[in-house]
Amino acid sequence: MVTQRAVPVGGPPSLDSFVKSITKIEASQVPGMVDHLISLLKRRQIRGSRNTAVATANLLMRVVSATKWSHVDAIISKIREIGRRLTRAQPRELAVGNIVRRVLGLIREEVENDSPPPSASLPAGTTLSLQSAHSTQGGVPAAPLGQPSTSMFSLLSQNPTPQKDKSSHSSKNIKAGIMEGIREILDELSTADDLIAASALEHIHSNEIILTMGYSVTVQRFLLRAAQKRSFTVIIAEGYPNDQDKVHQVLSGDPDSPGNSQIAEDSHLTFQQTLTRAGLIVILIPDSAVYAMMSRVNKVILGTHAVTANGGLVAAAGAAVISKAAKEHRTPVVVVAGAYKLSPVHPFDVEGISEHGDPGKAVRWEDADMVESCDVVNTLFDYVPPNMVDLYITNLGGHAPSYLYRIVADHYRPEDVSLDG
C-alpha cells in the first residue's frame, strides 16, 4: 500500500492535498480530519472564500457519510458542533459558516421531505417549526396551519423542539439525499463564477471604462466574458500590499513569475486568457490614484470576500475607499460574488471584521529601525456598508442591496444562523 501524506513533505498543506486526502480516509479518521482542517484554517494555509468553502463542503460530506446516526438530531448537532469549531478557527472566513449552515438546512429539508405528511390535527405543529420563516412553498408539504410560515408566527406556533418521530425515518435515504445536496453545493461552488460571468454582457457595454481592484477570479472571469463581445477599458488598482504581485502576474501573463502556482491553483485560469490578450485596454494604477481616475470611470466592479446579512461587504482593503470615491462621483458600484459568500451573519463589530495580515508585506522585517520604531499594520479587509453598493450580481442573478436579505434568508434556516449553543 502506498502511504500518503496529509501534509506534503516540506509543507505547507494546500487545499488540493486536503481535498485529495479527505476522499480516501477511513471513517475512523474523520475526527482527525476535522482537527486537520481546523489547524489549516488557524494557520491560514487554506484561505479565501472559495477555498475554505470547498474544504468545508468536502469535509462535511465525509462527516455525513462516515457518521452513523439513529436520530436526525444527532447528525444535526454533530454538524453544528463541527461548524462551531471551524468558524472559531477562522472567524473571518464567513464562507465556512455559510457552508455549514447550508448543509444543516439540507439535512432539515431532507428530513421534512422524508417524513410522512403530517396529520391534519392541530398539535402536529412540529414540521411548522422546522420550516423557516422564508422557506419557499415548493417541495415542502403544507403545514398544518396553512402557511403561517413567518418567524413572527412562530410565537404562536407549537413547541418547536419535539422531533421524536424523526428516528423512524430511514437514515439511509436521508443520507443519500444529504450527500447529493452537498455535491450540489460543491457544483455550485465551481460553477458560480461562470454563472456570474454569464450576465457580464448585460452590464458591460462597449467603450466603457471599468475600474476594479486587486485580484479576484470572479471579476477576472466577468471581464473576460464581456471582452469576448465588447471592447472596453479596464483600470486596475493594484491592491498594495497584498495583491499587487498577483495583479502584475496576471497582467503580464508570465507563468514563470514566482507565486503563479498559487494563482493557477485557485483560479484555473490559463494565462493566455489574460485581460490584455483579450484585447482590452488595461491601465494599472496605484491605489492612491483611485480618486483621480474615478471621474472617467463608468462603472466600478468589485469582488468581495464576503457579504453580510445587511448587504454590507467584507472586501479586500481598499474597497471602501473605492466605493467612497465612486459614491462621490455618482459612479455605480457593482459587486460580483458567488451566493456562497452571502452570510446570515450581521456585522456586529465592524472593526473586528478585518484581519491584520503580515506587516512584512508593507515593510520588510529585516528593516531593523522600522520594526523597532513603529507598528506596521496591514489590514486585509474593509467593511463597505450596504448603501455604498448599487448592485450585487450573484450566480442567482442581480440584486439590489436592499433585497439581499431575502437571498440570505432563502439560503439559511433561521435556527441555524447562530451555531452556538
Partner 1 sequence: MPPHDSQKPKGPAGKEEEDDSFILQAVVLTDSFERRFRPITHETPRCLFPVANTPLINYTLNFLADSGVEEVFLFCCSQAEKVEAYLKTTKWMGDGSPFKKFQIIVNQKLTSMGDAMRELDGKSLIKGDFLLITADVVTNMVIGPALQAHRARRAKNKDAIMTMVLRESQSTHRTMDRGDKAIFVLDKANGRCLHYERILPDRQRPFLSLPAEVLQAPTISIRDDLLDCYIDICSQDVPALFTENFDYQHIRGHFLHGILQDYELYGKMIHCYITRKDYIARVRGLQTYDAITKDIVSGWAYPICIDHNLFDDMDYTKTRNHIYRENDVTLTRSTLLKPNTVVGAHTSVGENTVLSGSVVGRQCKIGENVKVDGAYIWDHVEIGNNCEVGKSIIANNVVLGENVRVMPGAVISHGVCIAPGTTVYGDYSITTTNGPDAEEEQETDAGVVGEGGKGFLYEDSESDSDEIERITASRLPRQKRTALLTIMDDSDSDSSYVSSSDESTFSEVSSASASRRRAKKSKQKSRMSINTQRSDYSATSNEDDPDESFFKEAYSSLLTALEANHPVEVAALELNSLRMSSNASFDLVRRAVATAFVAQIGRLTSGVKLADVKDIVLAFASQWHSLAKRTVFSRDDQVELMLELQKASLGLGKDLGTRVFAYTLQGLYNDDVLPEEAVFAWQKHPKGHLNNGQEVRSIADQFANWLAEAESDDSGDEEEEEDDEEEESDEE
Partner 2 sequence: MSEVKKASEGGQPQFDILKHYTNLLLTDSEITMPVAAIESLVALVDACQATTVSEFISIIEGGSDTLKSSVSNAISLSAGCDLFMRYIIQTLGNVGDIASCRDYLRNNGRLFVQRAKDARRRIALLGVNFVRDGMTVLLHAFSRVVIALLLEAAERGVRFKAIVTESRPSGLGKRAARVLRDKGIPVSVVSDSATGYAMGKCDLVLVGAEGVVENGGIINALGTFQLAILARSAKKPFYVVAESHKFVRLFPLSQYDLPFDQDIITYFTDDEEAARVEKEKEEKKLKNIPEALARNDGGIGGDNLNRAWGERPLVDFTGPEFITALITENGVLTPGAVSEELIRIWH
Amino acid making up residue 148: P
3-state helix, strand, coil in the chain (%, to 5): 50, 10, 40
Give, in order, the Cα–Cα distances in Å from 137 to each of 125, 146, 160.
Answer: 17, 11, 19
Q: What DSSP letter does each residue of 308-371 carry, written as one string?
A: -TTS-EEEETTHHHHHHHHHHTT--EEEE--GGGB-S---S-TTTTSPB--GGGTS-TT-HHHH
366 is in the binding site of which of partner 1, partner 2, none (Cβ under 5 to 8 A by kind)?
A: partner 1
Minimum gap (Å) between residue 259 Cβ and partner 1: 11
Q: Single out the residue of 15, 64, 75, 89 in contact with partner 1 (rule: CB under 8 A).
A: 89
Give which of partner 2, partner 1, none residue 258 binds (C-beta under 5 to 8 Å, depending on kind). none
Asked whether the beta carbons of 314 and 320 are under 8 A apart, the reply is: no
Q: DSSP state, 7?
A: S
Task: Residue 144: name its binding partner from partner 2, partner 1, none (Cβ under 5 to 8 Å by kind).
Answer: partner 2
358 binds partner 1 (CB under 8 A): yes
Note whether 120 binds partner 1 by CB under 8 A: no
Nearer Cβ to partner 2 (161/272): 161
Q: In the bound complex, what is the minimum distance in angstroms from residue 418's beta carbon to partner 2? A: 8
| Interaction between residue 353 and partner 1 (CB under 8 A) | no
- Count of positions on this chain that bind partner 1 (CB under 8 A): 53
Task: Find which of partner 1, partner 2, none residue 152 binds, CB within 5 to 8 Å per kind.
Answer: partner 2
**Ramachandran category for residue 339: left, alpha or beta (phi over 0 → left; psi -120 to 50 → alpha):** alpha
For 143-268, strand residue ranges (E) read 209-213, 233-237
Compute the least distance from the CB of residue 133 to partner 2, in Å: 7
Beta carbon nearer to partner 1, 45 or 98:
45
With CB under 5 to 8 Å by kind, the binding choice for 402 among partner 2, partner 1, none is: partner 2
Long-range contacts of 97-100 (CB under 8 A, 24+ apart): 97/343, 97/345, 97/419, 98/53, 98/340, 98/341, 98/342, 98/343, 98/344, 98/411, 98/412, 99/53, 99/56, 99/57, 99/60, 99/185, 99/340, 100/56, 100/60, 100/416, 100/419
Q: Which is nearer to partner 1, 332 or 357 (CB)?
A: 357
Q: Which residues of the chain form contacts with partner 2 (CB under 8 A)?
A: 120, 122-123, 133, 144-146, 148, 150-156, 158-159, 309-311, 344, 346, 348-349, 351, 402-403, 405-406, 409, 414, 417-418
Quote the least distance from Cβ 160 to partner 2, whole Å.
9
Q: Which helix (H) or strand (E) holds 200?
A: helix 200-203
Cβ closest to partner 2, residue 113 vs residue 310:
310
Binding site for partner 1 (CB under 8 A): 2-14, 17, 20-22, 24-26, 28-29, 31-33, 35-36, 39, 42-45, 88-90, 351-352, 356-360, 365-369, 371-372, 375-378
